[in-house]
Amino acid sequence: MKVYFAPQSRAVRTVWLLEEIGLPYEVEKFTLGQKEMRGPDYTSINPNGRVPTLIDGDVTITESTAIAQYLGAKHAPELIRGPEDANFAVYLQWLHYAEGMIMGPMGNHVVETVLLPPERRNPELAMRALKLMGRTLGALETQMDGRAFLAGDFTIADTITGHAVIMARRLKVDFSGLPNLSAYADRLEARPAFQAAEAV
């Protein structure tokens, strides 16, 4: 398998999961914003020039949550939950929470603080995005009360929405009222598989 990757991006989720499963993989490494991500070599693989992209034999797949469901179903059934599981709905809801709720404002924050040239950045929009991101974490804080992971034991949901929580904390969302999420982020960051993904 091969992963098109950039540090500090959603591609960390994919490598983290591959490390959790213990599957061998190669990495093709970019830096976020790097020109080559929009060049013809890579856009012939992913027309949006985004990471991650996973190549698995003759399968090419993008979208980090899709990749997580693909890898779980193909290689790690113990990390996914099916309709017979009591946690099925909880698992699905929190698996999708990152992209549905958290990543919109996070993307806006990154646009206004990193991707736009300094003279075009708008600090008011960056602040609005940061506050909105914090607000989306409230429901997660409640969910994590008394829980170690999002849906019982560790699942692919933790590599997706857990990663969004870690990123939100690094972007300086106010975590002072989020003790459960602080402990959760610490717990995830301590996992050897996460640390291996961070070291790529």
**Which stretches does DSSP call E strand in the chain?**
2-5, 26-29, 53-56, 59-62
Structure-block tokens of residue 80: 């996914």
- Out of 5, 30, 97, 149, point to the residue binding its own copies (CB under 8 A): 97
Rounded to whole angstroms, the Cα distance separating 45 from 188 reads 31
Within positions 34 to 73, which residues make up the interface with its own copies, using CB under 8 A?
47-48, 50, 56, 59-67, 69-70, 73
The interface mask with its own copies, positions 105-134, x = CB under 8 A, is --xx----------------x---------
Buried/exposed code over 55-64 (b: 16+ C-beta within 10 A; e: otherwise): bbeeeebbbb
Minimal distance, residue 192 CB to its own copies, in Å: 27
Query: Do 39 and 33 touch, CB atoms closer than 8 A?
Result: no
Q: Which single residue is written with the structure tokens 């093709």?
A: 28
Minimal distance, residue 195 CB to its own copies, in Å: 25
Residue closer to its own copies (CB basis): 47 or 118: 47
Contact residues: its own copies, CB under 8 A: 47-48, 50, 56, 59-67, 69-70, 73-74, 82-83, 88-90, 92-93, 95-97, 99-101, 103-104, 107-108, 125, 135-136, 138-139, 142
